[in-house]
Amino acid sequence: MTNTVRIAIEVVAGVLPGTPIPEYTKQFIIPSDIWYAQEAYEGREQEAKLEVLKIYGFAQEYARDLMNPKILNWVKTEWIYF
């Protein structure tokens, strides 16, 4: 199986609504090999689940860190499953 992107999470933020500031934009990627290893019987199931949760957690924590009204007015997190 080719290792492709399975889930992409993007966090964007800015001052003016709908206008992201590029330096606050960050992408978090969950590759297909990790995603499918959660369901495999290769002995990596738990390790893969933890890796997926870790990536989700990084994205959520980054978005939470940006929620500072002294710097920004909005933060948005989007994810897409391919």
CA 55, CA 23: separation in Å to the nearest integer? 20
pLDDT confidence of residue 2: 67
> What's the structural domain count of the chain?
1
Range of the domain at 60: 5-81
Convert the pLDDT of each residue in 1-44 to its tens digit: 568 999 999 999 999 999 999 999 999 999 998 888 887 766 67
Q: Which residues contact 33 (CB under 8 A, 6 or more apart)?
A: 1, 3
